Structure 1
Amino acid sequence: MSISFEGQVAIVTGAGNGLGRAHALELAKRGAKVVVNDLGGARDGSGASSEAAQEVVRIIEAGGGEAFAHGANVAKFDEVQDMVLQAMDKWGRVDILINNAGILRDKSFAKMDLADFQLVMDVHLMGSVNCTKAVWDIMREQNYGRIVMTTSSSGMYGNFGQSNYGAAKMAVLGLMNTLVLEGAKNDIRVNALSPSAGTRMTEDLIPEEIFNMMTAESVTAGALTLCHQDAPNRMILCAGAGGYASTRLFETDGVFLPVEQQTPEDVLAKWDGICDTTQQAELEAGSKQTEKFLTKAMAYVQSQQ
């Protein structure tokens, strides 16, 4: 199966460098018209420059593709709206959004200033919210859309010194889970990419030999898998150094305790049953958990009659 994006319009945030750059270039190579978004700031979010994004546009155009750069700060909704409006004025649709823009402000939680926590949340979480909100009605009206969130193992599993980054990266999964349900009837599919790559975000954290194995291109192969026409939905795809895996959230079947046993002591006594994974399942919506518990409760009531 050959994957093509011919005739489609894609917005890639944080596309001046690293993963976003690789995503934008490969989308264009496969036929997409690309909005190359990049504020052009440093790794910590300071400063701004359009040069990196303009260079990506030049490469795309030199290869016969179409692109334009936009320096919207994804944490500012009015700037994001302007970017999307320009895309609509130029090409008349938006098919793909890859929420890739991000910054780091790493410190242990004890030493972290709350302003640094807020800024990382604003860029990663609210940046994804702002960009998604700006294209959501467009995708609904055209009955087609592919959105990729960028999550992280730091969010799903934790990483010392990254409480702000980890919180934001887990939050975009909560956003994805609900958007999947709300976008289904309009063929809007929402997935998440968990990358491990050698970029300026990680260059001083990883030994050089390993850094060179962790190419952005290997991650981009995963990103494009999540946003083509036959893409999955509600997938968390992990990619790095040529390795690909999925992360799934499962819930155990659990136990039921009658009213007289609903105490912390009895919960603890049933701990092995609560944690038993033999009948665990992936729940398709939050309501399914409530439905499961009520089913157990009703079954108990019936057994007592």
Structure 2
Amino acid sequence: MPEPLPFEQDIHELEERLAQLEATASGPDGLEAIRQMKRELLTLKRERYAQLKPWETILIARHRQRPQFLDYVDMIFDEFVELHGDRAFGDDRAIRTGFARLDGQKIMLIGQQKGKTLAERQQCYYGCAHPEGYRKALNKMKLAAKFHLPVICLIDTPGAFPGIGAEERGQAQWIATSILEMTRLPTPIICVVIGEGGSGGALGIGVGDRVAMMQYAYYSVISPEGCAGILWRVANDDTKARAAEALKLTAQDLLRLQVIDHIIPEPLGGAHRDPREAATALKAALKRYLRELLPLSVESLLQQRYEKYRRMGIFTQAPVHD
């Protein structure tokens, strides 16, 4: 049973009662009680997750048991061959790259890995990449273009690594360079936010012909904690929730604003409740995007990509009267 989040306590208690009842109940009356409690639990879940607040969505996106990049690699892709290093400084473990197959289609796979154990999280910098991570990703994207392979990017990061060393080695420059090069990379690019989509750390591998989000992921120019610290000088439960509401960072908000193209459904309560079901939905979406993009010529692909990003941020200004 997944570890409950603060707003899931009543759901967790009901799940525990159901487990106890299933272990002890017998006979027709016991079976009917189990069925009734299951209906009650399903109704409660549907009502709760249909009315999630933005901050609650963030808590789901950050759940410790939520599937990460390497989990999806195991569940969706075949023959993953990891490629290491940036040919300049080192091998950033927060960004993983490699060749893979998706139902026979050769692809270049790029994703951010946070890690699960403490040792792995430290090795992966909690999913916060250094400049060498973005340089590695860009090198592999160019390799994919050379061999006419589509690129799939799975995004899951709180943000780029904020340390002094990363800044000294050109963190902002390499994120900007990656964004620029992705706009004109002559091969299909698919980007999916599978968990956290934090700031430039996400944008560095987030420019694509199709950009999608998992249902309970978030994508934001700044974390709610960072926003609250700037605006109210303190990041507590109240200010973080206010910041999350104002930032319009949920998948539903970003689809309405046309920042993303699609929302990929998750199991009720989040991908951590049924990773296999979440992986099935993600795989179906990726296959659909590939079917749409692979037949396009390079000229059509780049023109559509250009038009996609030119449409973002269009607004109508009311006339000014003296």
Q: Does TM-score exceed 0.5, indicating one fold?
A: no
Structure that is richer in helix per residue: 2
Q: Which has the higher contact order (CA 8 A, sep 6+)?
A: 2
- Which TM-score applies when normalising by structure 2? 0.31
